[in-house]
């Protein structure tokens, strides 16, 4: 038996490999503290859970859902964009619910990238931008994100012959893994660039609501002309601690949303209506739980960053996301430092080179672990990092 060549091109998925290493360490009896995967340890807000329970008791939610999502959920998304960003969206033509934003991010290249086409992909970046492109038969052209450029892509450096074959430009701010942020001026530049070269700007906006120190993340859809060339992926996973619920959306340019919608009708059967009703409750509910969540992450960020600085590792506290992007100590690579921490003090971090070659020299710490475990992790770090 032989698999398709497209499967052979895929690297092992980073987080699956992390899970394997954790399981192996636990098998030898290790007490693992994982700063690896960004899976919130905090509970989904209670009013969202109650909305799910009530909806699941309604037999009307037990049948096939609509391919295009509940009209009420699409309207709730559009209304949220109006409140949050002062962006007006047509819920019928500019909003499509997704089975988690990862699903839509993976499928976007299937809808837009033909064999031989290019997707412009941030490096380091969320691995699915590249793997989705590979499975669509396209090529990923990596855009190095470097600290000296505030982890923003240098759009002017893209070769002309690459641009001529490009269909999509991926961006992600606040960023996973670098935790970098971007202001509205960056999106103005990116939208103008995409209109000039007839590209689709795909913004992965999963972390816009997790920000600190007064920073407020913009939406790419705020830019004039965005409705012609921008789609934005969002998720309830990080904002409302709903990673396991698998619910998100894509919003923006009607032609792009329609293409993704057409693709999805041939792939899946939509999102359980009870989960969509819970999504409505999240978007329309009180903001207190989100403020509490952000406060907890900010406290954890400060604890970790202060501890790292005291160990001689210079790190700037990020203004967004649930991650801290940390340079490895002198003498280490991303892989060697990751292995060192696991072998010596049973700590798991994500190696930066797993997000792209420009991630070499960094590791990513996630803030999604209980306070007591984070504090214990810091103390373990002190024993081996000087």
pLDDT at position 1:
82
Residue 244: how many CB atoms within 10 A of its CB? 11
Q: What is the Cα–Cα distance from 145 to 140, expressed in whole angstroms?
A: 15
Q: Is 235 helix (H, G, I), strand (E, B) or coil?
A: strand
Q: How far apart are the first and last CA of the chain?
A: 51
Q: What is the pLDDT of residue 24?
A: 82
pLDDT above 70 (res 15): no
Which pLDDT tens digit goes with each residue over 118-163?
999 999 999 999 999 999 999 999 999 999 999 999 999 999 999 9
Q: What is the length of the chain?
A: 386
Residue 211's pLDDT is 98
The residues of the chain that CATH labels 3.40.640.10 are: 50-284
Q: Which part of the chain is CATH 3.90.1150.10? A: 5-43+288-384
Angle at Cα 347 formed by Cα 342 and Cα 350, nearest 5°?
85
Burial 116-137 (b: 16+ CB within 10 A, else e): ebbbbbbbbbbbbbbbbbbbbb
- Residue 23 is predicted with a pLDDT of 84
CA distance 43 to 145: 33
Q: Which two tokens stand for residue 86?
A: 């002062």
- Reading the block at residue 239, the tokens are 């904002």
Q: State CA 33 to chain mean position distance.
A: 22
282, 242 in Cβ contact below 8 A?
yes
Given a cut of 70, whether residue 317 has pLDDT beyond it is yes
- Given pLDDT bands bounded at 50, 70 and 90, which one contains residue 29? confident
Q: Dihedral sign for Cα 367, 373, 375, 379, please.
A: negative
Which residues make Cβ contacts (< 8 Å) with residue 65, sequence separation at least 6? 269, 270, 271, 272, 273, 276
**pLDDT value of residue 320:** 98
Q: Would you give the distance in Å from CA 38 to the centre of its chain?
A: 9
More confident residue, 17 or 69: 69
Q: Give the bridge partners for 123, in sequence order.
A: 144
> Is the pLDDT score of 111 beyond 80?
yes
pLDDT in tens, 338-373: 989 999 999 999 999 999 999 999 999 999 999 999
List Cβ neighbours of 145 (8 Å cut-off, separation of 6 or more): 122, 123, 124, 125, 151, 152, 153, 175, 178, 180, 358
| Single pTM value for the model | 0.95
- Give me the percent of the chain exceeding a pLDDT of 70: 99
Quick one: pLDDT at residue 20? Answer: 79
Domain spanning 5-43+288-384, CATH architecture: Alpha-Beta Complex (3.90)
Quick one: what percent of the chain has pLDDT higher than 90? 90
What is the CATH T-level fold of the domain 50-284, as seen in this structure? Answer: 3.40.640
For 331, counting Cβ atoms within 10 Å of its Cβ (0-12 exposed, 13-18 middle, 19+ buried), the class is: exposed
What pLDDT, in 10s, does the model give residues 191-219? 999 999 999 999 999 999 999 999 999 99
CB 174 within 8 A of CB 211: yes
Q: Report the pLDDT value the prediction gives residue 9, as an integer from 0 to 100.
A: 74
């Amino acid at each position: 038996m032989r698999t398709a060549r497209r499967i052979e091109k895929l690297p092992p998925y980073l987080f699956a490999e992390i899970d394997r290493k954790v399981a192996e360490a636990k098998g030898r009896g290790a007490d693992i503290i994982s700063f690896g995967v960004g899976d919130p340890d905090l509970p989904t807000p209670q009013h969202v859970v109650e909305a799910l329970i009530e909806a699941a008791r309604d037999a009307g939610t037990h049948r096939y859902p609509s391919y295009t999502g509940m009209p009420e959920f699409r309207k709730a998304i559009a209304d949220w964009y109006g409140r949050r960003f002062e962006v007006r969206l047509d819920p019928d033509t500019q909003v499509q619910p997704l089975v988690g934003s990862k699903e839509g991010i993976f499928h976007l290249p299937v809808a837009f990238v033909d064999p031989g086409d290019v997707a412009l992909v941030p490096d380091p970046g969320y691995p699915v931008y590249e793997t989705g492109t590979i499975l669509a038969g396209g090529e990923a052209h990596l855009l190095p994100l470097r600290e000296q450029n505030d982890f923003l892509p240098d759009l002017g450096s893209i070769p002309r012959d690459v641009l001529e074959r490009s269909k999509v430009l991926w961006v992600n701010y606040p960023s996973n893994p670098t935790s970098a942020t971007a202001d509205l001026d960056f999106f103005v530049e990116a939208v103008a660039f995409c209109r000039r070269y007839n590209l689709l700007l795909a913004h992965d906006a999963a972390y816009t609501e997790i920000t600190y120190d007064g920073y407020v993340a913009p939406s790419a859809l705020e830019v004039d002309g965005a409705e012609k060339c921008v789609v934005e992926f969002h998720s309830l996973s990080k904002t409302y601690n709903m990673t396991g619920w698998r619910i998100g959306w894509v919003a923006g340019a009607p032609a792009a949303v329609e293409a993704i919608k057409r693709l999805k009708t041939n792939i899946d059967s939509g999102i359980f209506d009870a989960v969509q009703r819970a999504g409505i409750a999240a978007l329309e509910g009180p903001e207190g739980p989100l403020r509490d969540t952000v406060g907890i992450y900010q406290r954890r960020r400060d604890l970790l960053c202060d501890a790292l600085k005291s160990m001689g590792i210079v790190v700037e506290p990020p203004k967004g996301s649930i991650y801290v992007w940390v340079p490895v100590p002198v003498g280490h690579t991303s892989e060697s430092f990751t292995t060192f921490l696991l072998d010596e003090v049973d700590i798991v971090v994500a190696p930066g080179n797993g997000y792209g070659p420009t991630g070499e020299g960094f590791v990513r710490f996630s803030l999604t672990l209980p306070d007591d475990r984070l504090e214990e992790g810091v103390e373990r770090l002190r024993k081996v990092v000087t």
